[in-house]
Structure 1
Amino acid sequence: MADTVSYRPKAGEIPTQPGVYRFKDASGRVLYVGKAKNLRARLSNYFAPLRSLHERTRRMVTTAAGVEWTVVATDIESLQLEYTWIKEFNPPFNVKFRDDKTYPFMAITLADESPRVMVTRNHNIRGARYFGPYPKIWAVKDTVDLMIKAFPIRTCSDSSYKHAMQTGRPCFPGQIGRCGGPCSGRVTIEEHREIVNDFVAFMAGGDKRFVTAASKNMREAAERQDYESAAKYRDQLQALEAVLAKSAVVLADSVDADLFAIEHDELAASVQQFIVRGGRIRGERSWTVDKEIDVDTAELVDSILQQAYDGDEPPKEIIVPALPDDRDELETWLGERRQKGKVRLRTAQRGEKAALMQTATMNAKNNLMLYKTRRSSDFVARSQALTDIQEALGMTDAPLRMECFDVSHLGGTNIVASMVVFEDGLARKDQYRRFSIADSTDDTESIYQVLTRRLAYLKEEPKTDADEAVFGVGEGPVEPTRRKKFSYPPNLLIVDGGQPQVNAAARALEESGVQGIFLAGIAKRLEEVWLPDTDYPVILPRGSEALFMIQRIRDEAHRFAITHQRSRRKRDITSVLTEIPGLGPSRVRELLRHFGSVAELKKAEPSAISEVKGIGPQLAATVHHQLHS
């Protein structure tokens, strides 16, 4: 493999000013657009030796036939130009949204003579005030239905309103009491405008004064025995409280912010956005992003915010999991789109905002898992994945049964391994297996031990009379012995790791004498597939169903191993500590929370042990003595 690409510019040719660069292929198609505060420093990363580049970055630079750049005056100009070119050229290697769906909003047409509330996906209504987005259209409609009970504003279309004002007959929603506009005759245009202002104020966060006013009016009406008015205020109060129940209180009333949580792996990222207005979650949305080249969380934040506010006005505060390098320039760019003051990017370290970020992150994790599960359950995609794996690895048959192995340990202790089984592309959890490894020098030795034990079940066993069951004269059929699930041979064995782990597994496979099983390993960092006795890995196409399936079975093996290792560690810690006089369950939990393992606890001196809640100097000395006796 060459050290670098042939079109690499000379170092002195690349300027050191800020700018935007574009990688293009031989036909002139733009493959990737990026920005840099220092073009020379940034582009030098792409022209490092190819073997040192991330696999997807290497594929991008080798696919390209040249690179161009444009120098700009400031960093903010480079951000603006990058955004413009990504929109114009749609580069395949930039971060991509997996779906192009738009989310519904609640809009109040404040520019109209008689504003109305409506559900829309159009963000370009002149003078409209938007609330949302909402995950589903029914969620917006439910909120509107509740709100017009408390604030009866117009809901009819412009044509219905115009016809009603010309004829003097209320629109149909007005006739059935679902429209409180001036055409109904109940209010004037000026009075309706005041109700609209209250509607907007409540949705924007002015909650308490409206609830308090409705409650006060209801009590006063009841005291003067005006029960009809009291019932009306009661209905308003119930509607307001129902809307508030849909928007849980999470922050102070003065907080207007958007919060983004991101969960990502090597191939995709899940984004969860919470829209907080007046301290309440007014809307939320989630989506999946494709990752073509290797980017970290801060770089993802940069790309996601640019696309999330394409046409939407940002709030004054945006909470993200990591701050991008060009934070100042991004804040300036977002502030220009806000047109109502500055926008501040920040992370949440503690308090209510950090707790909300944890909730959003949990949702992002679940969404990424759901995305993978749904993709795996697609029959056509599974069939394509198995066919692609067969062709990429040179197998004679499709891998209808795959087994994947992973090793987990904590500092060389509590070594365990897992075996997960996929048949026809679906997980067979009833055939998962766990292994405990008493002693091992490293991961390759552990893989060798586990594969040796597993392959022992596949060796030829001497046939019995039951295996040779035939119909004899005057005899019924003899029932053959049932084969154990663990002894079914896989078409493909996968190990979590690169070339060293694959070679260790190949040694175990050769020594077992079992034939007809294909072997491969997947290296997590670069998502490369390694085969035995090869110098170069197999690179599966980015976004292919084959790579997705192999990644999924590897991740499942890792999850299963980690779960077993943690349960073993907790059981070992508990069993050791509970034997020490004076340590009850609560003190064992405190020691476990503080040190994490018996190995770490053994390293601690009595003075360090006594710092744990509920552990005095005398008990700490007893614990130290018992663990070292």
Structure 2
Amino acid sequence: MADPSSYRPRPGQIPDSPGVYRFRDEHRRVIYVGKAKSLRQRLANYFQDLAGLHPRTRSMVTTAASVEWTVVSTEVEALQLEYSWIKEYDPRFNVKYRDDKSYPYLAVTMNEEFPRVQVMRGHKKKGVRYFGPYAHAWAIRDTVDLLLRVFPVRTCSAGVFKNATRTDRPCLLGYIGKCSAPCVGRVEPEEHRELAEEFCDFMAGRTGTYLRRLEKQMMRAADELEYERAARLRDDIEALKKAMEKNAVVLADATDADLIAVAEDELEAAVQIFHVRGGRVRGQRGWVTDKVEEITTGALVEHALQQLYGEESGDAVPKEVLVPALPDPVEPVQQWLTERRGSGVSLRIPQRGDKKALMETVARNAQQALALHKTKRASDLTTRSRALEEIADALGLDSAPLRIECYDISHLQGDDVVASMVVFEDGLQRKGEYRRFQIRGFAGQDDVRSMHEVISRRFRRYIAEKEKTGEWVDEESAAPGENGLKDDEGRPKKFAYPPQLVVVDGGQPQVAAAKRALDELGIDDIAVCGLAKRLEEVWLPGEDDPVVLPRTSEGLYLLQRVRDEAHRFAITYQRAKRAKRFRSGPLDDVPGLGETRKQALIKHFGSVKKLRSATIDQICEVPGIGRKTAETIAAALAQAAPAAPAVNTATGEIMEDTEDGAPDPTEGTPDERRGQET
């Protein structure tokens, strides 16, 4: 590990101008490339106290052994040079987008004497017109098969073309009219090129003019009694319309645009792009990347634009590029796109209308792509086993933690404090064993006390049930006459299984609270750790410094999934409780009283009970409530009787709160009340 001060440039040595810089390791390999409006200010950020740096940035500067830079005239030049160097050096600490699949393109080789239509993958070649990308190669072949009837362009390989020329016999497509057979001289090179250009124009979205021309030719042929020619033109028009139907119209104004959406978490990001030409989605592609550096959504968008248009020809850059966040600064990127296109490019965030709705669709695709990527990664048995082994090694456990429980606290400014418990066994979710808790009294004042209470309640029940029967049957969820619910294998559902590892969402204070709760119960055979979300650090009880797992560690990835699932389950329950609190019974029947004013009333008085005892003048003090409305509210509350509390018929207890995961009988379906998702 190198000391950054050993290669830090002297003060005043770095110019205060735009440029691109490279960090190299001890073997002179480039490990990071970046650009800056001011090299002096940007590089100074890397040579501050290591404790103040993001862990990934700290890893980069301690791996590097030298830094060098190149001064340029403008930020646009810096953007271009940064892209060139990233392509040349492939630095390990830069964001690297990798395709989630290899996308095929429809290509027309306009650089040949007789242009050929074909499916192409990989790097793009100069002088070739590309359309797409498409999701599948068969989708291209279906489209081409329809269009060859109208545009009989050559599709054969160079070998087949030469053989046909030598034998003076065309291929099958030449005989059935789906190739103009330039190989045997049926058309001149100029005529064939004109066919290829018309094919490209149609694929580029200029379809209306060509269809109208064919319709006029069909009508003229019919008037001249050339019915066979008119029928062929009619069939050509139907074939073109069928080819157009393969792409749905999404923007009615025939817009040319690319829409880019990003879905991300702390470690990875997925990018999805929709290519819209002539108002129709002509192609779709996606990338997934590891976030090897601290990076914003705007910076991810900037890298995606470089990846997308860095090697494109000018006509591949559309008039509009719609993004979820703008790069900072946006002017150099917009100028670079304009230079690539040769005319103005609008780079913006859609705010309303059809474009915003389509952007939401692209964003959903990005989220699904990220989820699919994570699912594929999590479903691999070898990967899960390696993740559990890495966790055991990092935490000093005797064996891999086959059962992991994670706890998270959720509240809204101290109100409706709840907690969640999620269970992973062998690296996979066990949703049937999730539990949720309500936090009462003083514990809701802070997350640390809440965590202590939740851990205490969960393991007190574990000890009690273990001493009694060795297992806990959820009797409150059992059907009449049954001893408890059964799982898929016919066994009673158990809550007394002890985990090998307890994970809490938080840092050192939360870990200490969880460990203290276990110690108070005399439990010393369950490991505890915490995952701090901001820096993804793993904290152990009694340790002053966290355990920092490598960014590419499968163990860190599994811990992150566990923590994120606990957070999702907790916040879903907390939102449901908050929504129920605002469904305020008698107030729902007051005419003209909307959600905003109902929430204002509840917030002002704290509960319906206090509101019921308030005077009309006191109700009028709430913003937005006039005297007439206050009188209506008071009358409605006076007529409505207070709701009786729910009672557990098995025990006779008032069920105002959820105890140790036991459900509130007034909420949700039976599956939801057991903590399962339905």
TM-score calculated relative to the size of structure 2: 0.81
1:60-108 alpha-carbon deviations (Å, 9 max, x no partner): 2222233222323332232232222222222111101245964211112
Q: Is the 8 A contact 2:600 2:622 kept in 1?
A: no
1:591-625 alpha-carbon deviations (Å, 9 max, x no partner): 16996995489799778547xxxxx9844764599
- 1:485 maps to which of 494, 500, 504: 494
Q: Is the 8 A contact 1:118 1:155 kept in 2?
A: yes
Name which of structure 1's ranges 316-325 and 204-213 shifts more when overlaid on structure 2.
204-213
CA distance in 1, matches of 2:223, 2:623: 67
- 1:402 maps to which of 401, 404, 407: 404
1:477 corresponds in structure 2 to: none
Name which of structure 1's ranges 522-531 and 41-50 shifts more when overlaid on structure 2.
41-50
Q: How many residues align?
A: 605
Matching of residues 11-160 of structure 1 within 5 Å = 11-99=11-99, 102-121=102-121, 123-160=123-160
Q: Is the 8 A contact 2:100 2:287 kept in 1?
A: no
Q: Is the 8 A contact 1:415 1:436 kept in 2?
A: yes
CA distance in 2, matches of 1:500, 1:465: 34
Q: Is the 8 A contact 2:322 2:347 kept in 1?
A: yes
Displacement after TM superposition at 1:535 (Å): 1.0
SS in 1 for 2:589: coil
CA distance in 2, matches of 1:104, 1:139: 10
* Cα distance, 1:597–1:582 mapped onto 2, change above 3 Å: closer
CA distance in 2, matches of 1:173, 1:227: 24
1:472 corresponds in structure 2 to: none
Q: Is the 8 A contact 2:19 2:69 kept in 1?
A: yes
Displacement after TM superposition at 1:135 (Å): 2.2
- 1:538 maps to which of 532, 547, 550: 547
SS in 2 for 1:135: coil
Q: Does 1:528 align with 2:534?
A: no
CA distance in 2, matches of 1:466, 1:332: 70
* Cα distance, 1:463–1:510 mapped onto 2, change above 3 Å: closer
CA distance in 2, matches of 1:594, 1:3: 60
- 2:458 maps to which of 454, 457, 463: 454
- 1:499 maps to which of 505, 508, 525: 508
Q: Does 1:318 align with 2:321?
A: yes
Name which of structure 1's ranges 291-300 and 96-105 shifts more when overlaid on structure 2.
96-105
2:263 corresponds in structure 1 to: 263
Matching of residues 572-591 of structure 1 within 5 Å = 572-574=581-583, 576-577=584-585, 579-583=587-591, 591=595
Q: Is the 8 A contact 1:109 1:125 kept in 2?
A: no
Displacement after TM superposition at 1:515 (Å): 2.6
Q: Is the 8 A contact 2:338 2:345 kept in 1?
A: yes
SS in 1 for 2:23: strand
CA distance in 1, matches of 2:243, 2:622: 55
Structure 1 residue identity aligned to 2:296: D
Q: Does 1:387 align with 2:396?
A: no
Q: Is the 8 A contact 2:418 2:574 kept in 1?
A: yes
1:474 corresponds in structure 2 to: none
Matching of residues 507-526 of structure 1 within 5 Å = 507-526=516-535
* Cα distance, 1:200–1:230 mapped onto 2, change above 3 Å: same
CA distance in 2, matches of 1:253, 1:147: 24
Displacement after TM superposition at 1:547 (Å): 0.6
SS in 2 for 1:73: coil
Displacement after TM superposition at 1:577 (Å): 4.6
Displacement after TM superposition at 1:276 (Å): 1.5
SS in 2 for 1:540: coil
1:444 corresponds in structure 2 to: 448
CA distance in 2, matches of 1:226, 1:102: 48
SS in 2 for 1:399: coil
Q: Is the 8 A contact 2:470 2:496 kept in 1?
A: no
1:520-578 alpha-carbon deviations (Å, 9 max, x no partner): 1111111111111211111000111011100111111111112222222222222x155
1:210-236 alpha-carbon deviations (Å, 9 max, x no partner): 444556666777788866555534433
Structure 2 residue identity aligned to 1:451: I
Q: Is the 8 A contact 2:214 2:237 kept in 1?
A: yes
Structure 2 residue identity aligned to 1:502: V
SS in 2 for 1:68: strand
CA distance in 2, matches of 1:138, 1:427: 37
* Cα distance, 1:4–1:449 mapped onto 2, change above 3 Å: farther
Displacement after TM superposition at 1:271 (Å): 0.4
SS in 1 for 2:445: coil
1:145-172 alpha-carbon deviations (Å, 9 max, x no partner): 2222343322223343344355442222
Displacement after TM superposition at 1:264 (Å): 1.2
- 2:336 maps to which of 330, 333, 348: 333
- 1:347 maps to which of 340, 346, 349: 349
TM-score calculated relative to the size of structure 1: 0.87
Structure 2 residue identity aligned to 1:432: Y
CA distance in 1, matches of 2:181, 2:203: 19
What percent of counterpart residues are identical?
52
Structure 1 residue identity aligned to 2:394: A
* Cα distance, 1:187–1:74 mapped onto 2, change above 3 Å: closer
* Cα distance, 1:362–1:463 mapped onto 2, change above 3 Å: closer
Q: Does 1:288 align with 2:288?
A: yes
CA distance in 1, matches of 2:123, 2:160: 23
SS in 2 for 1:405: strand
CA distance in 2, matches of 1:233, 1:361: 42
2:563 corresponds in structure 1 to: 554
Q: RMSD between aligned alpha carbons?
A: 3.5
Name which of structure 1's ranges 485-494 and 619-628 shifts more when overlaid on structure 2.
619-628
Q: Does 1:172 align with 2:172?
A: yes
